[in-house]
A and B are shown apart, each in its own frame.
Chain A
Amino acid sequence: MTALLSLRDVTKYFEIKRGVFERRVVKAVDGVSFDVEEGQTVGLVGESGSGKSTLALTVLRLYEPTRGQAIFEGVNLFELKGRELTRVRRKMGIVFQDPYLSLNPVKRVRDIVGLPLKVHMPSLSFEERESMIREMLEQVGLRAADVERFPHEFSGGQRQRIAIARALIVKPKFLILDEPTSALDLSVQAKILNLLLDLQREFGLTYLFITHDMNVIKHISDRINVMYLGKLVESADTEELFERPLHPYTRALLSSVPTLDPRQRGRKKMLLRGDPPDPANPPPGCRFSSRCPLADDLCRREEPPLVQVEPGHWVACHKVGG
């Protein structure tokens, strides 16, 4: 298999200015590298502030990267400019978490879903565009006649379908899904997950699926990357990660997920002490060291590198492997 997207040392820092003298740098994404294989779903998990959404927006160049490379079909996205960038962007789409914020309330569905066509295929006639929009709406489980309606006339799940239609209208190869079901009820989430799986099969799509929900990620991903405070701490195939989590943070994360079987609740849980540190002021050494039950002096001094401990299983921890 070949990588459709290869991230190498992707880094995004934000500078925060307070007053005249104080400047702080938030290392939101710090040297993240992983591959996304064509046709696969790669999961990206982590808690708030872990940098997972910033990483997605940086890859799409919606944020300017501080450093690194994002190689998409052999081209480094971070070196593209102007028209070249627009041309490559047509192959990439994004769906956001909140379908109440991501759809313009004063536009009809026709204009919302049709906008990418106007940008990327400006030579289409109105009729051609209209028929593509109608076809796309039916493909995501809406009605062709919905082109006339406004976002407020739809439920949350239907709005997310509109957002998916907008992302897919220009037939991209790669879709970033940033918490696409987190705002939805369980029964609605089931429908959207099934739709995403159907569309992936039908169009041969590659997904980068961002979520904090471990049940969802387990269901949909082939491979999972775990982030903590801007760092990639573990990366493995889905079964491997759930059966043999190695990084103490991944283990705590999996252990914190409530069991769905009440008969299992007696099991020993690995509860973390304390809160995640301020991303603008992470601890020295390993960023997880302030909450890690295994941390020692080395951990508090030196940042652990990401190393391969098994074929395809990468971990950044002084206490694992090495």
Chain B
Amino acid sequence: MTLLEIRDLKVYYYAFDGVVKAVDGVSLELESGEFFGLIGESGCGKSTLGNAILRLVPPPGRVAGGSIYFQGEDILQLPEDRMREIRGDRISMIFQDPTAALDPVYTIGDQIVETILAHNPEVSRKDAEARAIELLKLVGIPGAEARVHEYPHQFSGGMRQRAVIAIALANNPELLIADEPTTNLDVTIEAQILTLLDELRRKLNMSILLITHNIGIVAEYTDRVGVMYAGKLVEVGRTVDVLTDPKHPYTRGLLGAIPGRGGRKGRVTEIPGTVPNLANPPPGCRFHPRCPRRFDPCDQEEPALVPLPGEGRMVACHLYRRLES
């Protein structure tokens, strides 16, 4: 069942010196209960896309077009008070830095209780407190009964991210957007947190949209993956298909750039050139100036995302256009 359907979404930043097209016509569907990875390098628009789903794009950014259907309803058309009912309740979000997400002057317990009561005013404070302890246990915080009364600074980095997850899950969301949730954490803690998220997803039957630059964690945990480049979704499909048999030249370049796969001390495959300026992106396919396989139409015509053989596989590249007809 489709939980979220993004159609031709455009998010632009209206800066002093031009319009930066951070997300420029992205369409994407998220199934109920799935673990979806959105991958790309800095500035590709992946975080902007995540923020747009919650309507939290900071100014001078604005949604410039498209729609986002959440369970059939276009949330971009909702009045702000209706949106507030959804945010933190049916869709919630966690970020890279758990310290910035927590209020230092309230206990962890108070912050969970506040989240519950904001959306469920009929619940008693006592019940909300009991639920807070239950949530801390759920995310694997030992001694939850005591730690619910502690402040964020008394938690380690990994435990803070667990507390943030507890807050995000307080109202049983159907969708959790996780924007680089483990980038600040050590790799042994990262494995704990992602394993936990995956377990919770199954247990609570929620969908996770994981936004990351780390191909390893996409390979390890997600069901499907979307690859973004310069504001466009260039490839999408089952993770196992995309990572073992990438179709788009950018996806191939990205996978080739991972060190340690070929011979030791050999050359790591480089992608020539640099990411384009999104205030003035190249015409045609945005990847064409760096693409080793560009040909006639690439610098003129923008390739559409077209289906390929294989379950839900799509790619936006002229190389595959012939398959379509």
Are B239's CB and A218's CB within 8 A? no
In the bound complex, what is the Cα–Cα distance between A301 and B88 (angstroms)? 47
List the B residue with the shortest CB-CB distance to A47. Answer: B186
Contact stretch, chosen from A21-29, A95-103, A267-275: A267-275
**Residues in chain A near residue B244, CB distance under 8 A:** 261-263
**Residues in chain B near residue A253, CB distance under 8 A:** 187-188
In the bound complex, what is the Cα–Cα distance between A41 and B270 (angstroms)? 21
List the B residue with the shortest CB-CB distance to A291. Answer: B188
Tell whether B82 is near chain A: CB-to-CB under 8 Å. Answer: no
Are A260's CB and B267's CB within 8 A? no
Tell whether A258 is near chain B: CB-to-CB under 8 Å. Answer: yes
Give B residues with C-beta under 8 Å from A.
Answer: 41-42, 156-159, 186-192, 195, 213-217, 219-221, 239-240, 243-244, 253-261, 264-271, 274
**Residues in chain A near residue B156, CB distance under 8 A:** 275
How far is the CB of A235 from the nearest CB of chain B, in Å? 17
Are B186's CB and A212's CB within 8 A? yes
**Residues in chain B near residue A194, CB distance under 8 A:** 267-268, 270
> Which of A157, A218, A265 contacts B259 (CB under 8 A)?
A218
How far is the CB of B162 from the nearest CB of chain A, in Å? 10
**Residues in chain B near residue A218, CB distance under 8 A:** 259-260, 264
Tell whether A238 is near chain B: CB-to-CB under 8 Å. Answer: yes
Interface SS, A side = helix
Contact of A271 with B191 at beta-carbon distance under 8 Å, contacts A258-B217, A261-B243 already known: yes
Contact of A219 with B264 at beta-carbon distance under 8 Å, contacts A252-B188, A257-B187, A265-B220 already known: yes
- 19 new A-B pairs (CB below 8 Å) besides A190-B257, A194-B268, A215-B259? A47-B186, A155-B274, A185-B42, A186-B258, A187-B41, A190-B270, A191-B270, A212-B186, A216-B260, A220-B259, A220-B265, A256-B187, A258-B214, A258-B216, A258-B219, A260-B215, A260-B255, A269-B195, A275-B158
Tell whether A57 is near chain B: CB-to-CB under 8 Å. Answer: no
Contact of A185 with B213 at beta-carbon distance under 8 Å, contacts A190-B257, A256-B188 already known: yes
In the bound complex, what is the Cα–Cα distance between A272 and B258 (angstroms)? 26
Are B220's CB and A259's CB within 8 A? yes
8 closest Cβ pairs, A-B complex: A258-B216, A219-B259, A47-B186, A258-B220, A256-B191, A215-B260, A190-B257, A185-B41
Are B191's CB and A269's CB within 8 A? yes
* Residues in A36-55 with C-beta less than 8 Å from chain B: 41, 47-48
Are B215's CB and A262's CB within 8 A? no
Beta-carbon contacts of A152-179 to B below 8 Å, as 1s and 0s? 0001010000000000000000000000
Are B268's CB and A190's CB within 8 A? yes
Beta-carbon contacts of A106-129 to B below 8 Å, as 1s and 0s? 000000000000000000000000
Are A187's CB and B257's CB within 8 A? yes
Contact of A262 with B240 at beta-carbon distance under 8 Å, contacts A187-B253, A193-B259, A269-B191 already known: yes
List the A residue with the shortest CB-CB distance to B254. Answer: A186
In the bound complex, what is the Cα–Cα distance between A71 and B274 (angstroms)? 42
In the bound complex, what is the Cα–Cα distance between A239 and B219 (angstroms)? 23
Are A186's CB and B219's CB within 8 A? no
> Which of A48, A219, A263 contacts B186 (CB under 8 A)?
A48
Contact of A212 with B187 at beta-carbon distance under 8 Å, contacts A187-B270, A194-B267, A219-B265 already known: yes
How far is the CB of A188 from the nearest CB of chain B, in Å? 8
In the bound complex, what is the Cα–Cα distance between A118 and B105 (angstroms)? 50
Are A272's CB and B257's CB within 8 A? no
Tell whether A276 is near chain B: CB-to-CB under 8 Å. Answer: yes
How far is the CB of B238 from the nearest CB of chain A, in Å? 9
Contact of A238 with B264 at beta-carbon distance under 8 Å, contacts A256-B187, A260-B216, A272-B192 already known: yes
5 contacts between A and B (CB under 8 A): A187-B41, A187-B271, A212-B186, A253-B187, A269-B195
Q: Among A193, A216, A269, which residue has the most Cβ atoms of chain B within 10 A?
A: A193
How far is the CB of A128 from the nearest CB of chain B, in Å? 33
Are A257's CB and B41's CB within 8 A? no
Are B213's CB and A272's CB within 8 A? no
How far is the CB of A121 from the nearest CB of chain B, in Å? 32
Tell whether A3 is near chain B: CB-to-CB under 8 Å. Answer: no
**Residues in chain B near residue A187, CB distance under 8 A:** 41, 253-254, 257, 270-271
Tell whether A197 is near chain B: CB-to-CB under 8 Å. Answer: yes
**Residues in chain B near residue A275, CB distance under 8 A:** 156-159, 189
**Residues in chain B near residue A252, CB distance under 8 A:** 188
Tell whether A88 is near chain B: CB-to-CB under 8 Å. Answer: no
Are A265's CB and B219's CB within 8 A? yes
In the bound complex, what is the Cα–Cα distance between A253 and B192 (angstroms)? 12
How far is the CB of A50 from the nearest CB of chain B, in Å? 9
Tell whether A307 is near chain B: CB-to-CB under 8 Å. Answer: no
List the A residue with the shortest CB-CB distance to B42. Answer: A185
**Residues in chain B near residue A256, CB distance under 8 A:** 187-188, 190-191
List the A residue with the shortest CB-CB distance to B216. Answer: A258
Tell whether A189 is near chain B: CB-to-CB under 8 Å. Answer: yes
**Residues in chain A near residue B219, CB distance under 8 A:** 258-262, 265
